Amino acid sequence: MTESSTHDHAAKPLRGIVPPLVTPLADRETLDPAGLERLVEHVLAGGVGGLFLLGTTGEGPSLSFALREEVVRRAARQVAGRVPIVVGVTDTSMAESLRLAEMAAEAEALAVVLAPPPYFPVRQDDLRRYVERMAEESPLPLVLYNMPSHSKLAFEPETVRALVDIPRIVALKDSSGDLGYFRRVGEIAAQRDDFSLLMGPEELLAEAVALGADGGVCGGANLRPRLYVDLLRAASRAVGRSESRAENRQVGELHAEVLRTAESLYRYDEGSAGVIKGLKCALSILGICRDVVAEPLQPLEPRQREEIRGKLRELGLSPVAPDPDRARRAENVALPAH
């Protein structure tokens, strides 16, 4: 994906960095509307190519249906068509997934994102038929979400091969972390000029571009959107230009900064829990939104929070507004008894 081949991607529905937007919360069942507004403007200012609402980083599966609908309606109204929006609709109930898809269509989203439904073991032929029915009944096109660490079930390459022939299935986001798998599904996706292939794990973004990725769904872009946009552009320019040391050096430097960000923020818990907790803590310190996480997750401890405050200084990030969680904690400190 080079600048000279932009026309090859004109028909693709999703391109660029599409952050899986964090869901700012005030408490278990209450959205933080001001935080959502600040966060949306923050990532759009970084030049992202779209927004993914109610994904893993957005804690979609942990939110009530009423709260999910509020997130989508508020975010879509604020974005107002500036970039495409896609909405996660994965649920154990197909009827609920379709209801969420109807709501996303009302909000004028581009597509809905569907992972294999969790809980029951499902054979690949049953999974294929399930997705085919979703594609028929959903009012919006589908983006396949390969997330085997969470759904316990992958879209195997042969299943992708069968599904890619369905015009209303328009993209695949791979969060398996397996570059061999990404290469195989990339070869399948290349059969269609209007099919987008997106990388999930941000540490693999640069390598994914060399394998044909059209963009990345990177959690860290909630915090540092411009960094990920710049890395994607640099990696795209470097494709097919291995003789350009300057371009390869730029990719290496930006990639190292992405890894540095992840090491600074995500190490306080395992997997996506560490990403969510670290990002929400960092965003609250920068004054963008609160650090409230959806249960069963719990926010980071004060000691960890201060460590992240120091890491943000090292990364050159400073608050854009007063820390909303510092004020909230001060209000909740018990007064000494008299």
The pLDDT assigned to 241 comes to 63
Q: Is the dihedral of CA 168, 199, 78, 89 positive or negative?
A: positive
- How far is 150 from 153, CA to CA, in rounded Å? 8
In a domain, 31, yes or no: yes
Write out residues in the chain with pLDDT < 50, as ranges: 1-7, 332-338
The answer to whether residue 335 is domain-embedded is: no
d(CA 252, CA 40): 28
pLDDT of residue 233: 95
Residue 176 lies in a domain: yes
Strand partners, 216: 17, 199
pLDDT at 327: 57
Task: Examine residue 44 and state whether it is found in any structural domain, yes or no.
Answer: yes
pLDDT at position 150 is 87
Long-range contacts, stretch 305-310, CB < 8 angstroms, 24+ apart: 305/281, 308/264, 308/265, 308/278, 308/281, 308/282, 309/285
Q: Can you give the pLDDT at residue 185?
A: 97
Q: What is the Cβ-side half-sphere exposure of residue 131, based on CA atoms within 13 angstroms?
A: 34
- Domain assignment present for 236: yes
Give the active site residue among 12, 119, 130, 145.
145
Q: Is 121 inside any structural domain? A: yes
Q: Is residue 334 part of a domain?
A: no
| DSSP one-letter code for 320 | S
CATH of residue 253's domain is 3.20.20.70
- pLDDT for res 333: 43
Average pLDDT, the chain: 91
pLDDT at 239: 84
pLDDT, residue 334, reads 43
Letter for the amino acid at 249?
A: R
- 119 included as an active-site residue: no
State the pTM of this model. Answer: 0.90
Whether 173 sits among the annotated catalytic residues: the reply is: yes
Which is it for the CA torsion 253, 201, 156, 161, positive or negative? negative
Please report which residue ranges of 27-123 form alpha helices under DSSP H. 33-45, 65-79, 94-106
336 in a domain, yes or no? Answer: no
- Please give the distance of CA 269 from its chain centroid, rounded to a whole number: 18
Catalytic position from the list 12, 173, 277, 280? 173
C-beta separation of 34 from 232 below 8 A: no
| Strand-pair category, 215-216 with 196-199 | parallel
131-161: pLDDT as tens digits: 999 999 999 999 999 998 888 888 999 999 9
Instruction: Report how many domains make up the chain.
Output: 1
Alpha carbon distance 181, 204 (integer Å): 13
Determine the structural domain holding residue 254 and report its residue range.
Answer: 3-327
Residue 36: predicted pLDDT: 98
289-306: burial string, b at 16+ Cβ within 10 Å, e else: bbbbbbeeeebbeeebbe
